[in-house]
């Protein structure tokens, strides 16, 4: 199967380079669907750049299968951050948009993201990530925790609004900003702690959520800049049976807590945990209350969702505590 990523001749072209990182030949079907969706956009990008993450066989196959795209190998460290940085290096557009290889943008996705940059203070924008379930919706899983598999979750704005950070699988950033800030963080302080992985790919080096880290560093450097969230810029993100499982939920919750501890160490706790404080203090209690009301109204799955929120919160807190302790021990060793 070959995806046609050549934009139609009728849409207007916008000065945007779209970067798609890929790594696994077994996900070729997903990549085909992603690139086909990019070829049906209501506005055409300057280019589509496919970055293959340290997989020579897939690189050769992709170059043959997608002649209309620019297919290159990851020239940085293995992982999503390195692949995206390679895409930034190669991009010609004044705006660089990112979408995952297992995500399918709706036809007006690029147009809606591009419109956000009419605001001169907007350095970047992101859109909604809607789960595309491969094995049905797990009724026990609370929408407040959809971030565990990279989808939009309860607590995000329901209309165009500023946010601390977008989600990396559906975001666009001014290229000048990316170049000046040094792109995505591919590690930290020369250390190589365990990386966060999902479906075999390194999602975040050093347990640091690199999309959040990027957005915070940009905001710290340019305080008057804003990141926008446009929920109408929709991408459908594949959620496999494994990613919708309880074991994955528990592991990702723990890893997210660990990642936020390390993020806070890099960018400061005030900025690194600003959105999380509201999520924990406002959004999650509302979700628990809603689940309990549903339980009392006769829906036992409401009780399961309330319980899952509590368990997910405990796992995240445990990850945060463990990573914070590790960080403190590392500092003591260095001082010694």
pLDDT(10) > 70: no
Does some domain include residue 217? Answer: yes
**Residue written as token pair 């399961």:** 304
Once rounded to an integer, what is the mean pLDDT over residues 173-182? 97
Does some domain include residue 281? Answer: no
The per-residue pLDDT of the chain, averaged, comes to 90
Identify whether the C-beta of residue 73 lies closer than 8 Å to the C-beta of residue 202.
no
Does some domain include residue 269? Answer: no
Q: What is the pLDDT of residues 41-50, one digit of tens each?
A: 999 999 999 9
Q: 88: closest CA among 171, 14, 173? A: 173
Once rounded to an integer, what is the mean pLDDT over residues 142-161? 96
Q: Which helix (H) or strand (E) holds 238?
A: strand 226-239
DSSP 193: P
Does some domain include residue 336? Answer: no
Range of the domain at 29: 16-244
Does some domain include residue 165? Answer: yes
| Residue 224, pLDDT score | 96
| Residue 126, pLDDT score | 98
Report the alpha-carbon distance of residue 177 to residue 257 in Å, rounded: 28
Does some domain include residue 302? Answer: no
Q: What is the pLDDT of residues 222-276, one digit of tens each?
A: 999 999 999 999 999 999 999 999 999 999 999 999 999 989 888 888 888 889 9
pTM attached to this predicted model: 0.88
**Residue written as token pair 């989600």:** 167
Where residue 164 sits, what CATH number does that domain have? 3.90.550.10
Give the pair of three-digit tokens for residue 52.
Answer: 């293959």
Does some domain include residue 288? Answer: no
Q: Which helix (H) or strand (E) holds 221?
A: helix 210-221
pLDDT(180) > 90: yes
| Residue 237, pLDDT score | 97
The CB density around residue 241, as the number of other CB atoms within 10 Å, is 12
Q: How many domains does the chain have?
A: 1
Does some domain include residue 118? Answer: yes
Report the alpha-carbon distance of residue 84 to residue 175 in Å, rounded: 12
What are the residues facing 47 on neighbouring strands? 17
| Residue 184, pLDDT score | 95
pLDDT(11) > 80: no
């Amino acid at each position: 199967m070959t995806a046609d990523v050549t934009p139609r001749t009728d849409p207007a072209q916008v000065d945007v380079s779209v970067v798609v990182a890929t790594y696994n030949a077994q996900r070729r079907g997903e990549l085909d669907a992603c690139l086909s969706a990019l070829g049906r956009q209501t506005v055409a990008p300057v280019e589509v750049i496919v970055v293959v993450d340290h997989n020579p066989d897939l690189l050769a196959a992709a170059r043959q299968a997608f002649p209309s795209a620019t297919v290159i190998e990851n020239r940085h460290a293995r992982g999503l951050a390195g692949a995206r940085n390679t895409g930034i290096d190669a991009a010609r557009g004044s705006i660089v948009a990112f979408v995952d290889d297992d995500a399918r943008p709706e036809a007006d996705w690029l147009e809606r993201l591009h419109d956000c940059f009419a605001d001169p203070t907007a350095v970047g924008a992101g859109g909604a990530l809607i789960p595309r379930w491969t094995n049905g919706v797990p009724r026990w899983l609370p929408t407040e925790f959809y971030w565990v598999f990279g989808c939009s979750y309860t607590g995000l704005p329901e209309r165009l609004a500023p946010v601390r950070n977008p989600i990396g699988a559906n975001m666009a950033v001014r290229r000048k900003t990316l170049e000046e800030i040094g792109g995505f963080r591919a590690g930290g302080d020369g250390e190589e702690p365990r990386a966060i992985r999902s479906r075999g790919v390194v999602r975040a080096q050093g347990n640091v959520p690199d999309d959040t880290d990027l957005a915070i560093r940009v905001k710290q450097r340019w305080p008057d800049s804003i990141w926008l969230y446009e929920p109408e810029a929709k991408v459908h993100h594949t959620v496999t049976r494994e990613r919708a499982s309880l074991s994955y939920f528990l592991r990702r919750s723990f890893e997210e807590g660990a990642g936020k501890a390390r993020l806070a160490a890099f960018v400061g706790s005030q900025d690194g945990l600003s959105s999380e404080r509201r999520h924990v203090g406002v959004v999650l209690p509302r979700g628990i209350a809603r689940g309990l009301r549903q339980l009392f109204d006769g829906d036992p799955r409401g009780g399961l969702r309330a319980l899952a929120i509590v368990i997910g919160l405990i796992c995240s807190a445990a990850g945060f505590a463990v990573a914070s302790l590790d960080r403190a021990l590392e500092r003591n060793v260095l001082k010694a």
